[in-house]
Every structure is written in structure tokens, then in C-alpha cells.
Amino acid sequence: MNRILEDIWDARDLRMDSYPLMNSPLPTIALCCLYFYGVKFLGPRLMKDKKAWEIKNVLIGYNLVQVIFSGWILFEILMGGWAGAYSFRCEPLDRSDNAMALRMANAAWWYYFSKFTEFFDTFFFIVRKKTEHVSTLHVLHHGLMPLFAWEACRFVPGGHESFGALFNTFVHVVMYTYYFLAAFGPRFQRYLWWKRHLTKFQMFQFVSVTLHSLQLAFSNECNFPVYQSMISSGFMVLFFILFMQFYFRNYKKKTALAAKSQ
């Protein structure tokens, strides 16, 4: 077993050795476990007998920062290759020290780091006592993404599978823009008719990334680890199923019930 673990570790991208949290998966695992414990047990218990916090200005500021942060990561991923140099059909992993490859590797680390900043989405739900939003989908999505992002950043910070990070950061720009507007309150409701379409957009993201990843399963000509495409596809299928269940439960079923009541 030790030999197998050593062989896996030897396959890491050495350029990432100097980045924080990259030299072992244990800190990331620990942070994810603390997140699960905090949002499912500790947080609700601490808030049980307390009033909901009024943090409107905090939410406005947080969501604006997330829009800017996600937009910057998106820009860096584009400039690291997807704005023109990368191929959507097959993009090998460049582990050299040229400027573009290093820019993509740096963007991969910041993408990984952004998964921890998104923990605040859940923390804010808890202190506002909106526990109905702390669903299985929400907790699994936020709690598993740092693990997935760590593995990708540690072993393949760039190349074919960075398409998933590209698409995901774009989705987050749109999503946090919605949250930013929603934080202003009821007077902005007329601008937020597209809420249900966010979930559709996220499902479209999972399907697109899966199809893009699976291209490598049918071709051995691309110098990119096929196992990474399989890992990515597995996560995308899991999230698609969870989001589809959420969509039907919260939109389709309610629409059908409303039609029956008329």
C-alpha cells in the first residue's frame, strides 16, 4: 500500500510544491470535515436560541467580492490558455515553466482556494437562521468541491480538465451576481426572475463538462491523464443528479401543484 501511495504522489505536479496546502491532502480533508460538522451540528446548535443576524450589508459586500474574485479567476484561466491557445478537443498537460503554463497553474490554485471562501455561503444561511437552504445538495456540493479541486490542482493544474474550472467560475460570476442583487431586498425582486434558470445553467454546466471530459475516454492520442477525466466525470454526474432532484422538487413539482389548484 505504501508503494502505491508513493507512486501516486510521485505523479504530482512538482510546480505546486511551494503552494500552501498542497503538500498533503490532510489539511483539506480536515477543513472539509470541520465544515460538515460546523454547518450540520455546531452552527445550528449555537444559533438555536438566538435571533437571526441582520447582515444585509455584509451579504452585499461578500457577494460583490465573490463576483470580482470569480471574475478574476475566470480571466486568469482564459489568459492561461482557454482564450485561444487551448484546444477543446484535446489539450495536453503542460508542466513546463513557461509563462502561460505557470499562469494556468497559479489560476488552478486560486480556484482551489476559492472553494473555501464559498463556505461562507452556508455560514451566512446558519446565522440568518435560513436552515432550509442548508440542504443535502448544498452541503455536499460545498463540502466535496475542495477535495476535488485539491486533487486536480495537485496533479493536473491545467490542460484538458481545466475546462471545468473555466465553466464553473463563469457560472459563479452569474450566480454571485444574482445573490448580490437579491441581498438588496424586495425592491430588486423584479430583476431576479431568472433564479430558476440558474439551476438549469448549473445542470448544463455539469453535462457540458462531462461530455468534454469523456472525449478522452474514446481517444488515447491526447497526452493528458485519462483517470482525471474519469474523476471529473464522476463528480459532474453526481452533482447533476443532485441538482436535477433539487430542480424538480423546488420548481417542477411546485408548478404542477399550482396548476392543479387552479
Q: Residues 141, 142, 160, 212: which is the catalytic one? A: 141
Cα–chain center distance at 231: 15
Contact at 8 Å (CB) between 131 and 188? no
Measured in whole angstroms, how far is the alpha carbon of residue 36 from the centre of its chain? Answer: 16
Q: Is 208 exposed, middle or buried (0-12, 13-18, 19+ CB in 10 A)?
A: middle
Is 141 catalytic? The answer is yes
CB atoms within 10 A of CB 19: 19
The answer to whether the CB of 23 falls within 8 A of the CB of 17 is: yes
Half-sphere exposure of 183 (CA within 13 A, CB side): 21
Give CA angle at 233 (230, 238), nearest 5°.
Answer: 130
**Contacts (Cβ under 8 Å, ≥6 apart) of 180:** 60, 63, 64, 67
State which amino acid sits at residue 228: Q
CB 67 within 8 A of CB 176: yes
**Active-site residues: which are they?**
141
